[in-house]
Structure formats: C-alpha cells, structure tokens
Homo-oligomer: A and B are copies of this chain.
Amino acid sequence: MKRIEDLSVKNISWLNSNSYVLELSGTKAIPDILPGNFAEIRVDHHPGVFLRRPFSYLDVDEKNNSISFFVKVVGKGSRKLGTLEKGELVNVIHPLGNAFSIPDNKKVLITGGGSGIAPFIMLGRELKSRGNEITIITGGRSSEDILFSEEFKAYGEVLCTTEDGSLGEKGILTEHPIFTKDNFDFDLIYTCGPEGMMKAVAKIARDKGIACEASLEHLMACGFGVCLCCIQETTEGNKCVCTEGPVFNTNDLKW
C-alpha cells in the first residue's frame, strides 16, 4: 500500500560532480519495497519546481528505517534536493510502480547507463539471493560515471564501457564485446538508462530471443495513476508507466 509521509534527510553523499546519494529516514517502519519500485519526492522551496520528481530506490535499510536514492543532477529539482541539510523534511509518496521479475537460478545480464543504474543494487541483491548468475555492465561518458562497481562485484561479474575509454571498453554500452560473444546465452536481460541505450539493448535481446525488462523514465505529473501523462504505447494499447510500469517486458513495447 502506498503512503505519503515526511522523511528526514539522513545523509547526502556526492559521488562525483553531478550525482549523489540521498538518504532519507523516518520514524515508522518503511513499507515493503521491491526492486524497480520508485518514489515521488516533493521538492520544496524552489520557485521553478511545481511537480514532484520520481526516483527509483537505490537501497533500503530496514534496520534504520531508511531508504536511499541515487540522483543525477539534470535540472532544477535534482539540483535542489542535493542542497538539503541533514534533518530537513522531505515529503515522499511511495512505494510506487511495479517491480522487476526475479527468476531462480538463471543467467541474467544487467545493463545500466547514467542514473539507470539506480534500481540495480536492490535488484542484484535479490537476484543473487535467488541463485542467479549475474553479469552487470554499466556505461558512462568517462570513468567518473562508472559507479557502485564495488557493490556490484558482490553480485557477479562487473563490466563497463566509457565513451572516452577512460575505464573499461571504449564506446557506448552496446558496443561492449560481450554482446557479440558466441556464448551470449543469458536467460533474461534487465536495462535502465537513456532511451536510446535501452532500445539498443532491447533490440539485441529480441534478435537473440532473450527476454528483456526495461525500466522507463517517463515524465510524470502524479506518479500514482491518475493524470495519465506518463503513458507508454504497448502492444495492448497505452499503459501508465507509473502504475503498470516502470518495468516493462520490451517485447510489449512498440520499440
């Protein structure tokens, strides 16, 4: 069940020049959160920000009643949230959206670009606990953008691409040699990041007949299914990204 509540800023830690982890904690037990779910965060005290901003959960700490988000600064709201002080209250509606499917004992590939890596910390942990064999590949412009590698290493093999070649393979994510290897035999691919990247990953998946789940980052006004602004065309007509997504099987998308 979704709820609306004020949480307080526990910590903000900057990871590089344009992204940070925002940790919020409450006094009540946090709700049940699944990998892929997101929250709608209200950005107060900024004249230019009217609507809430959606962010996927980066992680959940049930012991401390705290949740965290990985935020990439792209505009007014994401910048403002990064200037909050410890103890300030932030109004949150959550948890929202559907979740990634979690198979048992399969071989899975996780592909994340930019802020799209956010949901994969929780996803990776869940996948690992269910006996899956995990490969994670993240892409970025330069080494600065390749984040959470240590965390990901605990789940499986970690690969990366950078456009400037400063870390891992040079190029965009789908240019990584893994995609052309003969033994590219995953059972399921997950993707989250810029739409171009997700479409490229989905195409590879489709070509190879592998199931693929993408988490979409559509513009949202409400986040809980009433405004109908966040729709995605699917084979079954328009679907709400906020309630019927953000996770979709890419075969259902008209990509």
Tallying the copies of this chain within the complex gives 2
**A41-54 contact mask (Cβ, 8 Å, vs B): 1 or 0:** 00011110100000
A44-B46 Cα distance, complex, nearest whole Å = 9
A47-B47 Cα distance, complex, nearest whole Å = 4
Name the interface residues of A46-84: CB closer than 8 Å to any CB of B.
46-47, 49
Shortest Cβ distance from A44 into chain B, in angstroms?
8
A45-B48 Cα distance, complex, nearest whole Å = 9
- Size class of the A contact interface (CB-based, 8 Å): under 10
Chain B residues, CB < 8 A from A46: 45, 47
A44-B76 Cα distance, complex, nearest whole Å = 14
A111-B255 Cα distance, complex, nearest whole Å = 75
A222-B49 Cα distance, complex, nearest whole Å = 25
Q: Which residue of B lies closest to A50 (CB)?
A: B47
A49-B46 Cα distance, complex, nearest whole Å = 11
Chain B residues, CB < 8 A from A49: 47
Shortest Cβ distance from A8 into chain B, in angstroms?
17
Shortest Cβ distance from A52 into chain B, in angstroms?
14
A249-B45 Cα distance, complex, nearest whole Å = 41
Shortest Cβ distance from A117 into chain B, in angstroms?
30
Shortest Cβ distance from A77 into chain B, in angstroms?
12
Q: Which residue of B lies closest to A83 (CB)?
A: B45
Q: Which residue of B lies closest to A45 (CB)?
A: B45
Chain B residues, CB < 8 A from A44: 47
Residue among A44, A47, A49 having the largest count of chain B Cβ atoms under 10 Å = A47
Shortest Cβ distance from A43 into chain B, in angstroms?
10
**A19-58 contact mask (Cβ, 8 Å, vs B): 1 or 0:** 0000000000000000000000000111101000000000
- 7 of the cross-chain contacts (CB-CB < 8 Å) are A44-B47, A45-B45, A45-B46, A45-B47, A46-B47, A47-B47, A47-B49
Ordered nearest first, which 7 A-B pairs have the shortest CB separation? Answer: A47-B47, A45-B45, A45-B46, A46-B47, A45-B47, A47-B49, A44-B47
